Amino acid sequence: MPEKNPAQEAVSVLETVDVATGARTVLQEFDYIVEAPNWMPDGQRLLYNSQGSLWLFDMASKTSEKLDTGACNRCNNDHVLSPDGAWVGLTSGGQDSQIYIVPAAGGAPRQVTVNCPSFLHGWSPDGKALAYCAFRETGHDIYTIPAEGGEEVRLTSTPGLDDGPEYAPDGRHIWFNSVRTGLMQVWRMEADGSCQTQMTLDGDSNSWFPHLSPDGSQVAYIAYKKGDVDPGAHPPFKNVEIRLMSAQGGPYRVLCQLFGGQGTLNVNSWSPCGKKLAFVSYRLKRR
């Protein structure tokens, strides 16, 4: 008998955590995989991906509504909101992934990138640029491109994987994670790619997907225990931590521990007020 896919044997738990107290609140459980919640600007809904589509979850009614993304029917966990909340940037596909933009209310997608694969992670505060990870013949690096489309600009060029680029709220910096020093660590650079600086020194872990709080003062990220995963891998169904540190660097604080990984905190999921984070944990079903 063929082995079952673990993703088919998991329950997804959509949660929030209070960044001051660490108190967790379960919003909904799903009998299938959901991933990567973004908090909508209204503070009442979350955008997540599941089964190739994007969905809006209403926290009051506990119901989900599918977002119309037209021909983009392989949406993954790389999606972001425009600064004004009017648009959703999404990634659709596998190793042929491209970046698209759709109205936040749903509608026909507009393709932004030409080269693939490209995986969206950040939208500049002025709305003019997108930041993304891309696999090219030159390596696995971070790029930017005008939101209206155009020529992509390569910002990193070191060996190994650079991923998860996200703009700081003031637009001065792009935060990302890189394996260039051995373990996966959180880095920061100027928006033009200069002054690339390592911000975490987590010798016990591999740290992924830094997300800046709305006021730019704090950074949340997810960490795998060293030895549980290869430095360049972020699989699901692992014991991980959501950590919080100052945007100036320094020691981190463990916000919560959970069973998750891929799909938990891929995109910025800070609440508009900056008091909570949304995330997904998982629970394997008993056979």
What's the number of domains the chain is made of? Answer: 1
Residue 49 resides in a domain: yes
Residue 1 resides in a domain: no
Residue 287 resides in a domain: no
Q: What is the pLDDT of residues 172-208, one digit of tens each?
A: 999 999 999 999 999 999 999 999 999 999 899 999 9
CATH number of the domain residue 137 falls in: 2.120.10.30
Please count the other Cβ atoms lying within 10 Å of the Cβ belonging to residue 172: 12
- pTM for the model: 0.95
Domain that holds residue 80: 6-282
Give, rounded to a whole angstrom, the gap between the first and last alpha carbons of the chain.
15
Q: What is the pLDDT of residues 198-240, one digit of tens each?
A: 999 989 999 999 999 999 999 999 999 999 999 999 999 999 9
> How confident is the model over 112-127, as a mean pLDDT?
98
pLDDT bracket for residue 2 (50, 70, 90): very low
pLDDT at 287: 66
Residue 272 resides in a domain: yes
Q: What is the pLDDT of residues 11-64, one digit of tens each?
A: 999 999 999 999 999 999 999 999 999 999 999 999 999 999 999 999 999 999
Residue 131 resides in a domain: yes
What phi and psi values does residue 252 have, to the nearest 5 degrees?
A: -105, 165
pLDDT bracket for residue 3 (50, 70, 90): very low
